[in-house]
């Protein structure tokens, strides 16, 4: 809107200037993550990890590493929203400050977000601009890719956490574990990853430019249809995916300007 108002971008070129593949990927993954969080699967996974750790020090490291693994395939903000509540509960039970625990989770999540194509918005943008597919993040032009570099940082981060929390040796135990309400969102998230990997084997000239975006949105739509008994409700789009709201507003604005511009041109 600002570029159009300042005359930097002509109205006629607005639709082509928008990278719809990136927007659709963000919209789709955030929608799928919504269902994943609602199923409480991340909380159950965290419970199992914590229950197997001997003390607080290893709990913090495990939570941070767990957040990192999830963040490699899920948006960073969503990952922290999954894991942070568990960290807060553990900190309260053990009477320790939650601040360093939350910082450790946030740093690990932010770090691993760069490991894969779908880990972070920045990765999606990078993949688009550099023409990278899902597998290129693991092995790029015959050399180890971003994933390998990120893991070096993860190892150093784990060592730093072990040193930082060396004195926190209180035992910890999770009583009643979280009950997962629905396993289907877990299959949705896994399916998104598998489909993106398979799509990476298809030559770029043989698939549409928004192929990855269509995959992510397609999986999200399956979740919406299943949730509503295969009756799509507009309110669900608005609620589960903030990017969808932004798309709706932006698209409406663009359409108005397009028709206005066409009217001015007669």
* The pLDDT value given to residue 189: 84
Residue identified by tokens 């730093």 is 160
List Cα–Cα distances, 181 to 38, 42, 192, 197, 260, in angstroms.
Answer: 8, 12, 20, 28, 49
* The pLDDT value given to residue 97: 84
How many CB atoms neighbour CB 60 within 10 A?
Answer: 24
DSSP string over 11-77: GGGHHHHS-HHHHHHHHHHHHHHHHHHHTTHHHHHHHHHHHT-SSHHHHHHHHHHHHHHHHTTS-HH
* The pLDDT value given to residue 135: 86
DSSP string over 139-168: EETTEE-HHHHHHHHHHHHHHHHHHHTTT-
Q: What angle do CA 209, 210, 211 make, to 5 degrees?
A: 95
Residues 93 and 87: their CA atoms lie apart, in Å, by 10
Which tokens belong to 169?
A: 């040796």
* The pLDDT value given to residue 49: 76
Could you state, in chain order, the average pLDDT of each consecutive group of 10 residues for the chain (266 residues)? 89 85 84 84 78 84 87 76 74 79 89 84 82 86 88 91 86 76 87 81 77 88 80 50 49 49 46
Enumerate the domain spans of the chain: 19-235
Q: What is the pTM assigned to this prediction?
A: 0.62
* The pLDDT value given to residue 174: 67
Residues 6 or more apart in contact with residue 27 via CB below 8 angstroms: 213, 216, 217, 220, 241, 243, 244, 247
* The pLDDT value given to residue 151: 92
Q: Is 40 left (phi over 0), alpha (psi -120 to 50) or beta?
A: left
* The pLDDT value given to residue 236: 52
């Amino acid at each position: 809107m600002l570029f159009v108002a300042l005359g930097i971008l002509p109205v006629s070129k607005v639709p082509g200037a928008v990278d719809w593949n990136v927007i659709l990927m963000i919209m789709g993954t955030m929608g799928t993550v919504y269902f994943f969080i609602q199923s409480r699967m991340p909380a159950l996974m965290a419970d199992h990890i914590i229950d197997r750790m001997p003390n607080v020090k290893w709990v913090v490291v495990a939570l941070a590493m767990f957040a990192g693994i999830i963040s490699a395939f899920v948006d960073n903000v969503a990952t922290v929203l999954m894991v942070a509540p568990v960290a807060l509960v553990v900190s309260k039970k053990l009477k320790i400050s939650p601040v360093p625990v939350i910082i450790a989770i946030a740093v690990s999540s932010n770090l691993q977000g760069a490991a894969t194509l779908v880990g972070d918005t920045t990765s999606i943008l990078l993949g688009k601009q550099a023409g990278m597919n899902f597998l290129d993040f693991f092995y790029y032009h015959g050399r180890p890719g971003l994933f390998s570099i990120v893991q070096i940082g993860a190892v150093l981060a784990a060592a730093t956490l072990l040193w930082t929390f060396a004195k926190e040796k209180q035992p910890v135990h999770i009583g009643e574990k979280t009950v997962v309400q629905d396993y289907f969102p877990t299959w949705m998230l896994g399916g998104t990853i598998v489909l993106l990997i398979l799509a990476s084997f298809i030559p770029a000239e043989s698939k549409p430019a928004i192929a990855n975006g269509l995959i992510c949105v397609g999986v999200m739509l399956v979740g919406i249809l299943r949730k509503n008994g295969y009756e799509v409700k507009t309110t669900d789009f608005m609620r589960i995916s903030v990017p969808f709201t932004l798309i709706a507003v932006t698209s409406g604005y663009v359409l108005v300007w397009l028709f206005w511009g066409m009217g001015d041109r007669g």
